[in-house]
Amino acid sequence: MSPSTPPPPVRTAVIGFGLSARVFHLPFIRTSERFELVGISTSQTQQVRQAYPDVGIYNDAKQLLSQSGADLVIITAPNHVHYPLAEQALEKGLHVLIEKPMVIDTGQGHALIELAKQRNLVLAPFHNRRWDSDFLTVQKLIQEQRLGDIKVFESSFNRFRPTPRERWREQDIPGAGILYDLGPHLIDQALCLFGIPQTISATLRKSRPGSQAVDYFHLQLHYADKEILLHSDPYSTGPNPRFRVKGTKGTYIKDGLDPQEQRLRDGMLPDHNDWAAEKPYEYGTLYTETGKQRVTSECGGYQHLYNNLADAIVAEAPLAVSAEQALDGIKIIQQACTMLR
């Protein structure tokens, strides 16, 4: 292959065909020339055949790992099986991308990292919300010192789901509950901005009647010069108070959720550069002593995670979010779980 010839696409297989696979992964494989979808393992055979008629369908993950001919496997199965599936994939010589949380305890994560290093394979966590428009905007404001020294950072991801649902995420099984679902995103963003805290405090609850798993969390990460508050509850009907970032020069307030998930759910394909851009009415506001101003949001895009993954597999580029970084978040989740009321 000459220097001007692009490398062949990464042959990719997906374990699972639930919401995560359909919304957050398959649209990016479908629209990228850097990946080729070769297999999906699922019991939803008819739905896959309709959506992806030319792709191999496998009854279970073991069959997919052995027969698909993939170079990369994406694991979107329930959290408690992330570790055994990733271990099997690495042992078969496949690169691995794992939905968050990468694993449900740090011991599993360290074992996978060591195995990937031994096999010279890429092990990547799916922390796509590093590429949310609102987070990128907060990151830029902090880097440019427009808020001064940060003193209080509040990050929330709330929903209105007052009644528990019959699904694995809300069952009494390891790795279930909202802390393992949304917690990895909020914690990862906070650690990316501020590093490892000195200590943490946490309130976890099963707040809804009949809840089998944690459905409320309020984490506080304590630093020498700032406090970080991370929150999620199932009783929020109004706009999500996504960020409240308070510093010595001003405060940035951002409501609502990044639009990418909803656009993907609605069937939009990430096939143009500004597909993820926020509309002006979605922008946040910067408040200072002299007034306030709307801040144009940075343009996000989860495709950047996939482009980085392709670079890591093909050209040994460093991952933008490493497995080691993901484990820093899992450690905080494990610490918080000891504080369950």
pLDDT tens figures, 120-148: 999 999 999 999 999 999 999 999 999 99
Question: What does the pLDDT average to over 220-239?
Answer: 96
* pLDDT at residue 4, as a whole number: 67
Query: What is the chain's alpha carbon radius of gyration, rounded to the nearest angstrom?
Result: 20
Phi and psi at residue 295, to the nearest 5°: -110, 120
Question: What does the pLDDT average to over 311-332?
Answer: 98
Q: Is the pLDDT of residue 67 over 70?
A: yes
Q: Which two tokens stand for residue 90?
A: 């690495």
* pLDDT at residue 273, as a whole number: 87
* pLDDT at residue 341, as a whole number: 60
* pLDDT at residue 3, as a whole number: 59
Q: Is the dihedral of CA 160, 162, 164, 165 positive or negative?
A: negative
Question: What does the pLDDT average to over 29-57?
Answer: 95
Q: Is the pLDDT of residue 1 over 90?
A: no
Burial class (CB in 10 A: 0-12, 13-18, 19+), 106: middle
pLDDT band at 239 (very low <50, low <70, confident <90, very high): confident
* pLDDT at residue 122, as a whole number: 98
Residue 183: name the closest of 235, 218, 227 by CA. Answer: 218
What class does CATH assign to 10-126+304-318? alpha beta
Q: Is the pLDDT of residue 82 over 90?
A: yes
Q: Is the pLDDT of residue 325 over 80?
A: yes
pLDDT band at 15 (very low <50, low <70, confident <90, very high): very high
Q: Is 123 helix (H, G, I), strand (E, B) or coil?
A: strand
pLDDT band at 195 (very low <50, low <70, confident <90, very high): very high
Domain 130-301 fold: Dihydrodipicolinate Reductase; domain 2 (3.30.360)
Q: Residue ranges per domain, the chain? A: 10-126+304-318, 130-301
> Rounded CA gap, 75 and 53, in Å?
21
Question: What does the pLDDT average to over 21-47?
Answer: 96
> Is 0.85 surpassed by the pTM of this model?
yes
Q: Is 271 helix (H, G, I), strand (E, B) or coil?
A: coil
* pLDDT at residue 339, as a whole number: 84
